[in-house]
């Protein structure tokens, strides 16, 4: 077997393992279940303009493109875990193909196979493409933008320049202005370092390109503001300025802010790019001169700017997540493929990662029933949907809403719970184990436990003695 074929075999196995196991473990709280539930509501309501957080509450936190692809997948394959995750796996596959075609065009087949092996064996990439979240789609749009810009600049390719503007518009529909900012930072780092920023920008087809950009994203923003006034102010000012500059930002309408120390995004990068991030550090100490030489050419500098752009953007932000570093990962893979000339080393690491990730995936599949999801607890009554409301006291997980087909209802306090049990003829009730110990349900409510999990207990209550 040729070495290139062996590398591609590792890539194929990694991608297929992810694909075939997408439906073998539940949607996890909070991120996955939340976005899957928003997509389920889109299918239910057939409202393709405004994503809904729940009935009557619009979701202003993100543009709808990632919800569209999940909802379309639901329409095609059904509303289940595999259907929820497939579209995001597809975004990962398309990003991988983009990197392969781009790398092959730059330096041939060997460089291309090395690049995609490094990308697909990065721990963060492998995890992210099997999850329901915005980042795989953002990864694709940024990869499309950065590869097309380079082709436009280096080859004076007019069509590639137009694709660049389309990709920026797509990023606006996936995650908003942050997509364009990441792309802009990458281009500025490279352009200022290479002293070619203005000529490079001037080479773009701005007139037609801006028209394509506007046609791609502007209609939805206008329709969204007209349908639910206040969206623009919340999304642009709140989500893109206050969220990142105010630690513990309290303006989030849909969850809690993630408070992290400033600069921690670089530690996140070490994890997401593992094991190659540590191999790069080893090379920096072992062969600094080679790396210095490799970084002298324009293409390497372009890749460096692209690779570090997400970390530069979020270095001084406190409200960050691990997946925020993903848009720079393709450039990192392309760089590492240039640095590592020992292809046997690539193959060995590829085989190790394939075996390791297969084992980790198996552990997740076989030990996933009760952790961070309400699927197991609700499994006895969700066939496919509960026939009655399922009441949750004080906190209602997003996975409960998804697996109950929207039947999970929130009860704010114990007094409301008592009143609800008195007035309803039949109820499903979920309590955590702590709540079960604290609350003594009167015998007249006739509550019986019908299922248990690590999350809590599911009861059926029928006040027959009233």
Q: Please check whether residue 419 is in contact with residue 439, taking contact to mean a CB–CB distance below 8 angstroms.
A: no
The pTM of this model reads: 0.92
- Give tens-digit pLDDT for 280-326: 998 888 877 777 777 788 999 999 999 999 999 999 887 889 999 99
Q: How far is CA 107 from CA 200, 233, 372, in A?
A: 22, 46, 45
What pLDDT, on the 0 to 100 scale, is given for residue 288? 75
Longest CA–CA span in the chain (Å) reads 83
The two structure tokens encoding residue 206: 């701005």
**Interval 55-67 mean pLDDT:** 93
What torsion, rounded to 10 degrees, do the Cα atoms 178, 173, 128, 38 define? 120
**Which of 137-141, 273-277, 457-461 is predicted least confidently?**
457-461
- Give tens-digit pLDDT for 324-364: 999 999 999 999 998 887 777 888 888 899 899 999 898 88
Give the model's confidence band at 153: pLDDT under 50 very low, under 70 low, under 90 confident, else very high.
Answer: very high
- Give tens-digit pLDDT for 277-287: 999 998 888 87
What pLDDT, on the 0 to 100 scale, is given for residue 295? 76
What pLDDT, on the 0 to 100 scale, is given for residue 248? 58
More reliable by pLDDT, 42 or 29: 42
Q: Which residues contact 404 (CB under 8 A, 6 or more apart)?
A: 374, 378, 382, 385, 386, 390
Separation between Cα atoms, residue 176 and residue 138, nearest integer Å: 10
Give the model's confidence band at 465: pLDDT under 50 very low, under 70 low, under 90 confident, else very high.
Answer: very low
State residue 274 phi and psi, 5-degree precision. Answer: -60, 140
Q: Which residues contact 37 (CB under 8 A, 6 or more apart)?
A: 398, 401, 402, 406
Q: Is 82 exposed, middle or buried (0-12, 13-18, 19+ CB in 10 A)?
A: middle
Give the helix ranges, DSSP H, for 59-134.
65-77, 81-107, 109-120, 123-128
- Give tens-digit pLDDT for 172-184: 999 999 999 999 9
Comparing CA positions, the residue from 139, 457, 188 lying closest to residue 329 is 139
Mean pLDDT over each residue of the chain, to the nearest integer: 89
A 10 A CB-CB count for 96 gives 25
Q: Does position 150 have pLDDT exceeding 70, yes or no? A: yes
Give the model's confidence band at 1: pLDDT under 50 very low, under 70 low, under 90 confident, else very high.
Answer: low
- Give tens-digit pLDDT for 107-122: 999 999 999 999 999 9
One-character DSSP codes across 159-183: HHHHHHHHHHHHHHHHTTHHHHHHH
Give the model's confidence band at 249: pLDDT under 50 very low, under 70 low, under 90 confident, else very high.
Answer: low
The DSSP secondary-structure symbol of 64 reads: S
Q: What is the H or E stretch that residue 400 is in?
A: helix 398-403
More reliable by pLDDT, 166 or 446: 166
């Amino acid at each position: 077997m040729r070495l290139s074929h062996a590398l591609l075999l590792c890539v194929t196995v990694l991608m297929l393992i992810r694909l075939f196991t997408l439906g073998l473990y539940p949607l996890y709280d909070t991120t996955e279940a939340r976005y899957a539930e928003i997509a389920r509501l889109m299918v239910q309501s057939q409202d393709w303009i405004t994503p809904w957080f729940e009935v009557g509450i619009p979701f202003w936190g993100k543009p709808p493109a990632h919800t569209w692809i999940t909802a379309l997948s639901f329409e095609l394959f059904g509303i289940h875990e595999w259907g929820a995750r497939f579209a995001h796996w597809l975004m990962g596959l398309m990003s991988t193909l983009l990197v392969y075609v781009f790398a092959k065009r730059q330096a041939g087949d060997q460089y291309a196979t090395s690049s995609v092996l490094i990308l697909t064996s990065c721990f963060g990439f492998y995890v992210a493409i099997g999850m329901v979240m915005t980042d795989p789609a953002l990864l694709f749009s940024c990869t499309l933008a950065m590869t097309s810009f380079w082709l436009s600049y280096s080859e004076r390719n007019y069509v590639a320049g137009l694709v660049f503007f389309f990709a920026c518009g797509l990023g606006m529909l996936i995650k908003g202005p942050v997509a364009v900012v990441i792309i802009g930072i990458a281009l500025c780092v490279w352009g200022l370092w290479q002293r070619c920023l203005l000529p490079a920008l001037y080479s773009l087809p701005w007139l037609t390109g801006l028209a394509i950009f506007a046609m791609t994203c502007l209609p939805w923003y206008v329709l969204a503001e007209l349908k639910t006034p206040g969206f623009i102010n919340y999304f642009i000012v709140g989500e893109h300025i206050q969220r990142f500059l105010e630690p513990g930002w309290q303006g989030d309408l849909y969850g809690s802010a993630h408070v992290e120390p400033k600069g921690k995004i670089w530690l996140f990068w070490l994890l997401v790019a593992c094991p190659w991030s540590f191999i790069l550090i080893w090379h920096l100490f072992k062969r600094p001169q080679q790396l210095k030489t490799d970084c002298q050419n324009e293409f390497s500098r372009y890749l460096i700017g692209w690779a570090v752009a997400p970390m530069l953007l979020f270095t001084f932000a406190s409200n960050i997540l691990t997946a925020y570093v993903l848009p720079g990962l393709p450039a990192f893979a392309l760089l590492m493929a240039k640095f590592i000339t020992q292809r046997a080393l690539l193959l060995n690491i590829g085989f190790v990662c394939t075996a390791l990730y297969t084992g980790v995936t198996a552990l997740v599949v076989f030990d996933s029933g009760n952790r961070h999801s309400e699927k197991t607890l609700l499994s006895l009554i969700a066939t496919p949907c509960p026939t009655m409301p399922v009441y949750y006291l004080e906190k209602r997980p997003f996975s409960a809403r998804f697996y109950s087909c929207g039947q999970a209802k929130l009860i704010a306090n114990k007094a409301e719970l008592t009143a609800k049990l008195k007035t309803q003829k039949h109820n499903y009730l979920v309590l955590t184990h702590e709540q079960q110990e604290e609350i003594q349900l009167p015998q007249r409510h006739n509550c019986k436990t019908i299922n248990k999990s690590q999350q809590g207990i599911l009861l059926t209550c029928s006040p027959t003695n009233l």
